[in-house]
Amino acid sequence: MDITSIQPHKFLEVLDQGQLQDSIIVDVREPYEWDYYHMEEAVLLPMQQIPHRMGELPENKDIYLVCAHGVRSYRVAEFLQENGFDRVINVEGGMAAIGTLRGFQYD
């Protein structure tokens, strides 16, 4: 199974150009991580809640997944694909890479 991924600089480029308005950005980190630093455009849906809340995810839109470093979001992308979602995109490097590109240090 191939997971579609996007590099963080390309993700921010299309986001800043308004090209993701018909998409959803899902942050799969924990609430305490979200509280530390998050993207205003994203919705928080922690990884452990995904199986119980899949009905909240659109099947007709691209779903961009982000976590701290791109590992959990990759696993969520695999899970969603296995469960019939074919428009999932993992943001490589996660919030650590996004934060670095936006001038914010995220550990």
DSSP 92: T
Q: Which amino acid is at 99?
A: G
Please give the Cα distance from 7 to 101 (Å, whole number).
Answer: 11
Residues with Cβ < 8 Å from 15, sequence gap 6 or more?
A: 25, 41
Please give the Cα distance from 32 to 3 (Å, whole number).
Answer: 27
67 is an active site residue: yes
Task: Give the active site residue among 28, 47, 57, 67.
Answer: 67
Q: For residue 40, give the 3-state DSSP assignment.
A: coil
Q: Which residues are annotated as catalytic?
A: 67
